[in-house]
Amino acid sequence: MTENIVSTALWGTESPVDRVVDHPAWTVLKDAVEAIRPAQSPDGSIDFTADPAPGRDQIARELDRVVAAVRALAPLLPHDAAYHEALVADLRRWADGGFGVPDFLDSLLAFQPAAERADGRQHLVVFPMYTQNGNPDRNLEAVVLRVVWPDWLAELERTRYDNPMFLGITFEDFTAGYDTNSAVLFPETVAVRRAPERFTWGGIFCDREAARFRRVVDAAREATSLRLPGDAEALLADQERCQETFVLWDMIHDRTHSRGDLPFDPFMIKQRQPFWMYGLEELRCDLTAFHEAVRLEADGRPQGRDVQYAVLLDRLFRFPVTGERVRNYDGLGGQLLFAYLHRHDALRWTDNRLAIDWDLARATTVRLREEIETLYRRGIDRPKLVHWLKGYELVSAYLAPHPGSRWAKGPDALDLTLPPRKLVDDVLPDEFPLSLFYEALARKLRGVVESTRGITAAGTVTRAA
């Protein structure tokens, strides 16, 4: 603790500090990063010839403040010593190179948070990066986070769901790139001179996922007059319980991308496909988590029932009405799940009231997963284009395509002399528009969904169960 006292004394307090965000250097670091960000171009560089041009000396001074703050905070995080040393070196090299396109490969390689996952462990992360579903530019960002790794989750990862790169995390504080809808921290988003041979970690902010789940689902069930079972009500009322539910869901979902038939690129950036194939893949991974949750419940694990409720309610309510309609593959998966359950009488929308037969919904959800798995298994023996068309058939059996869709008219309407990747251009931005039910729900929930931008656990209120 002596190091902490000395470090804080230099920054205006003699009190020992354990939390990074309580150290005065964190405020200095945030302010300096926020001063640098507006001067950056989309690729992360700073153009000192722009009009108006940022002051080179001012930017250099702000970067010096970032370096000094990182050094002041580093003693609180001895497990990240190698990363913070490499980070300071990368920051200095960026400045010495005239603030061109940043390259933080060395510090990225030194950051190994999944090597020793410990519940409650803090990390201070500073990288030039874009934030998925947030800021598309590679701006300098600073985030303080904690790892969520309770003993029961560690035991499940060790014995049933091996995923050594997965990190469940929560926000402590962040700069503007995370005051958005982004709920992930992925190494793929960092500005580097070349991609590493392999990535060793990926983090998902379960507190943000839980907080927006609670807010949106609470509003949706009131808008639809849906009555929830008591254990679902209790889940919705408890932020910490929701966080642990999402971290289990995410851990199983994440590993599913590379398992089963036709392993998929988890980031879906190397395989140009129609977005309904992305939607089917994301839904497959969620329904696999649902299937495993049914098994966990049968084994006496209370988290199993919670994951089932979370998958159904988040997929049915939040996913379809969140984000733009352009190639919204997560929204498509939610629409498909709703239509599938509705077609099989597991849910009914009558007299402006939604009712769910929860036992039938569980069995029906498992059947949808089996249909998608069958599509994948048979796809091994099909050409790519045929696989895409079969995927379209599955989706369009339950969702009405846009009346102007060329794909809906079948292969005779497509120019089959073109390679498959070119035929993706014939996919409409909103190939499967919202149904009447979702159009009405989207209008009712628009303000609630917008209010979840930048939300964390601190922005939620625990209701009485």
Q: What is the DSSP string of 397-433?
A: TTSPPPTT-SGGG-GGGS-TTS-HHHHGGGS-TTSSP
By the 10 Å C-beta count (0-12 exposed, 13-18 middle, 19+ buried), 44 is classed as: buried
Copy the structure tokens of residue 117: 């996952």
Give the other-Cβ count within 10 Å of 166's Cβ. Answer: 23
How far apart (Å, rounded) are the C-alpha atoms in residues 377 and 28? 54
Quick one: which of 320, 275, 314, 327 has its CA closest to 435?
320
Give the other-Cβ count within 10 Å of 152's Cβ. Answer: 12
Contact 119, 147 (CB under 8 A): yes
**What pLDDT, on a 0 to 100 scale, did the predictor assign at position 3?**
40
**What pLDDT, on a 0 to 100 scale, did the predictor assign at position 175?**
98
How far apart (Å, rounded) are the C-alpha atoms in residues 17 and 23? 6
Contact 262, 376 (CB under 8 A): yes
Phi, psi dihedral angles at 190 (to 5 degrees): -80, 145
How far apart (Å, rounded) are the C-alpha atoms in residues 326 and 343? 26
Copy the structure tokens of residue 165: 């790169």
Q: Give the DSSP H or E segment for 173.
A: strand 166-174
Q: How many CA atoms lie within 13 A of 182 on its CB side?
A: 23
Q: Tell me 253's DSSP state.
A: H
Residues 6+ apart with CB under 8 A from 419: none
How far apart (Å, rounded) are the C-alpha atoms in residues 270 and 266? 9
Which tens digit of pLDDT belongs to each residue from 19-53? 999 999 999 999 999 999 999 999 999 999 988 88
CA distances from 325 to 182, 336, 423, 439 (A): 17, 15, 20, 12
How far apart (Å, rounded) are the C-alpha atoms in residues 14 and 262? 58
Strand arrangement of the beta sheet that strand 184-185 belongs to: 122-129, 139-147, 166-174, 202-205, 184-185
Q: Give the DSSP H or E segment for 442.
A: helix 436-451
Angle at 20 between CA 92 and CA 99, to 5 degrees: 20
Copy the structure tokens of residue 420: 């498959």
Buried-state track 113-138, b at ≥16 Cβ within 10 A, e below 16: bbeebeeebbbbbbbbbbbbebbebb
**What pLDDT, on a 0 to 100 scale, did the predictor assign at position 220?**
98
Which tens digit of pLDDT belongs to each residue from 217-226? 999 999 999 9
Quick one: which of 399, 393, 402 has its CA closest to 430?
402
Enter the pTM of the model. Answer: 0.93
In the predicted model, residues of the chain with pLDDT beneath 50 are 1-6, 266-267, 269, 461-465
Residues 6+ apart with CB under 8 A from 385: 411, 416, 420, 423
**What pLDDT, on a 0 to 100 scale, did the predictor assign at position 8?**
55
Angle between helices 329-343 and 436-451 (to 10 degrees): 130
Residue 178: beta bridge partners? Answer: none
